[in-house]
Structure 1
Amino acid sequence: MDTIDIFRELRIPNPAEFPVEDFFKVPFTHHIHIFSGVKDTKARYYYIHRCAEEKLSAKALAQIIKNDDFAKLANLPNNFGLTLNDEVMARKAVLAFKDSYVLDFINTEEIGERDKEDIDERVVEKQIIHNIKKFIMEFGKDFAFVGNQYHLEIYSEEFFPDLLFFNRELNALVVVELKTGKFKSGYLAQLMTYLRILDDKVKKPHENPSIGIVLCKEANRSFVEYVMQDYDKPMGVATYTTSQETPEALKDALPDMDELKKLL
């Protein structure tokens, strides 16, 4: 692919959206990677912008295209772009989380005969703690477990967020609040309190702002994004399924956890 081929491939539907300045900052080899490996116009603009902003090597560009970073940007309902001043940091935060997790090591059928809806967050939390290595493997790379029911105190008021992690890539504390039911707007207010205290009392001076994630069974994305826009701390909402909720066809397609650990 030569220069003429690249410009022929541009097919700019809306010239006003084309990142002209970024385009001329990106080396020719990088453009070849983008225009030969990416077909969606908006995705191409995204990778051009990242190359210009982060001065990516050709190898690093090829890797993020392979990882399909552009597609992942739309996954997690979040306010990172509004609450994290650094655009690179905001993008890394989006890529650090998924919109849905398969916690296949949690099997509520083995807990007892009670109704699934009666199984509270503490039960799920205990199973996650018992299987913390598996949870981190599902949650993503660079997460280090700090503690559960982590004690926070401010003005003689005590709080105990469910799970606290530290993410090395983000250089930030990550608090995860577990909910076994449908998302409620009040969960964000609860998370906001935790993040405020973490930033004031726990976060180190060299660390980035703490990030909060509500992990619940069900969430209306449009509603989450609507109520989240007035919060000034970085947070997102993800959902999860447990082992007995995973379709049999999908279970057969998923690698066995023990086998996966051997491969890793």
Structure 2
Amino acid sequence: MEIQGGSNYLQAVQQIKTAILRSRYAAAALANKELLKLYFGIGQYVSFHSRNKNWGKGAIDSISNLLQQELHGLRGFSASNIKNMRAFYEEWEFMLPFLIDEKAPFFQFSEEELNRQIPSAELKNSNRQLPTGELENEFVAMFLKNGFTHHCTILSYAKNIEERIFYIQKTATEFWNNTTLKHHLKSDLYQRQGKLAHNFQTTLSENSFRQKALMAFKDEMLLDFINIEDADEEPNERVLENAIVQNIKKFIMALGSEFSFIGNQHRLIIEDEEYFIDLLFYNRKIQSLVAIELKKGKFKAEYVGKMNLYLSALDEMVKQPHENPSIGIILCKEKNNKIVEFAFRDTSKPMGVVTYKAYNDLPEAYKNILPDTEALKGLL
């Protein structure tokens, strides 16, 4: 039965749905902000009393147990998490003006106590490295968007202030969950971002697009889902491609943000001859097609000519008028930067060389984090 005025009702439903979701998001963001402030305040309180030896040994464990008795069903206040709150405060002590309301603090400290909590010289130096002015306000907003678990993860892996700011901004703007954040921390995205071996300087004339393109790629990818049984065996291109396609979500996570998978063995017909691009993606942020060629072993100069052909064909036959030039990425096990530089010197199409590490290349400490194949079978 057709509902009278159905189209109008559907429009109303969409409008109301949007309002509900917006309200939920605002409520969640506000709740997260208040939780961060609470944890920071508790961290300040615990830091003062535990570091100044006002409490005896095992005090935090006792306090955690007593809290459970006072507030049945209370979650998030285990002894280890209270220690995380203390670390959260101590590492971000210079954020005090933004996280604690002086007129209504969670905990009252005497004048003497406050004087004893002056930040150390090291923290003062860190404070000078924070963004200032409008950028400071933007950073504070991003800081408060991150959940406490994200903050703990960042503090565990990132040891300097610039690196922490980078991951806080990335997590807030690209909506990383904690698993994605850990992946980028382990693959050292901060150090690798923008360090791609490339020819963008000579092939991309628009500076803003060139900078965005450079930041879209890393110089090395961690493909820990590729596990070759024989550690000495080098996987051929088809084995590598199949492993990537079967784990395409993980590959996109390793590749970066805003990538959409178009397909593998993408067919191009040029003058009745067939050519196949190993992997074809589209990046929404830079609005470019991205062709990826998979190569085993070390980078070779002859790979560049074929990629140049693919990019010319994509730009003429596939690229839409509003899109930016197609970009090529040669993904291989090793590269010699000087050979890459000479190979790219007189090319006309934008491309770069990215190396990868598979599971077998990981240090033993990282391998042990993941269950082996037999263990996975047991779990499944």
TM-score past 0.5 threshold: yes
Query: How does 1:1-264 map onto structure 2 within 5 Å?
Result: 36-37=128-129, 59=138, 66-67=165-166, 72=192, 75-109=195-229, 116-117=233-234, 119-251=235-367
Say if 1:76 and 1:237, in contact at 8 Å, map to a contact too. Answer: yes
How far is the alpha carbon of 1:249 from its aligned partner?
2.1
d(CA) in 1 for partners of 2:212, 2:344: 19
CA RMSD of aligned residues (A): 3.1
Say if 2:196 and 2:214, in contact at 8 Å, map to a contact too. Answer: yes
The one-letter code of the counterpart of 1:214 is I
How far is the alpha carbon of 1:67 from its aligned partner?
2.3
d(CA) in 2 for partners of 1:133, 1:250: 21
Which 4+ runs in 1 deviate beyond 4 A? 55-58, 60-63, 68-74
TM-score, scaled relative to structure 2: 0.49
Tell me the alpha carbon deviations over residues 82-121 of structure 1, each in whole angstroms, 9 at most, x when there is no partner.
Answer: 1111111111111111111110111111xxx69613x310
d(CA) in 2 for partners of 1:120, 1:222: 25
Say if 2:226 and 2:359, in contact at 8 Å, map to a contact too. Answer: yes
d(CA) in 2 for partners of 1:134, 1:165: 14
The one-letter code of the counterpart of 2:245 is I
- Quote the sequence identity (%): 47
Q: Which structure 1 residue ranges, 5 or more long, are not aligned?
A: 1-34, 39-46, 48-54, 255-264
d(CA) in 2 for partners of 1:37, 1:189: 45
Does the residue aligned with 1:161 lie in a helix, a strand or coil?
strand
Tell me the alpha carbon deviations over residues 179-211 of structure 1, each in whole angstroms, 9 at most, x when there is no partner.
Answer: 011100011111101000000000000000000
How far is the alpha carbon of 1:136 from its aligned partner?
0.4
TM-score, scaled relative to structure 1: 0.69
Higher helix share: 2
How far is the alpha carbon of 1:59 from its aligned partner?
2.3
In structure 2, the CA distance between the partners of 1:140 and 1:84, relative to structure 1 (3 Å rule), is: same
- The number of equivalent residue pairs is 204
Q: Which structure 2 residue ranges, 5 or more long, are not aligned?
A: 1-126, 143-161, 168-188, 371-380
In structure 2, the CA distance between the partners of 1:190 and 1:57, relative to structure 1 (3 Å rule), is: farther
The one-letter code of the counterpart of 1:190 is K
Say if 1:195 and 1:210, in contact at 8 Å, map to a contact too. Answer: yes
d(CA) in 2 for partners of 1:202, 1:88: 23
Say if 1:72 and 1:94, in contact at 8 Å, map to a contact too. Answer: no
How far is the alpha carbon of 1:220 from its aligned partner?
0.6
Does the residue aligned with 1:151 lie in a helix, a strand or coil?
strand
How far is the alpha carbon of 1:156 from its aligned partner?
1.0
How far is the alpha carbon of 1:73 from its aligned partner?
6.2
In structure 2, the CA distance between the partners of 1:71 and 1:123, relative to structure 1 (3 Å rule), is: closer
Structure with the greater alpha carbon radius of gyration: 2
How far is the alpha carbon of 1:245 from its aligned partner?
1.3
In structure 2, the CA distance between the partners of 1:115 and 1:253, relative to structure 1 (3 Å rule), is: closer
d(CA) in 2 for partners of 1:92, 1:251: 33
Does the residue aligned with 2:240 lie in a helix, a strand or coil?
helix
| Higher RCO (CA-CA < 8 Å; seq separation 6+) | 1
d(CA) in 1 for partners of 2:199, 2:136: 29
How far is the alpha carbon of 1:36 from its aligned partner?
3.1
How far is the alpha carbon of 1:72 from its aligned partner?
4.9
d(CA) in 2 for partners of 1:213, 1:152: 17
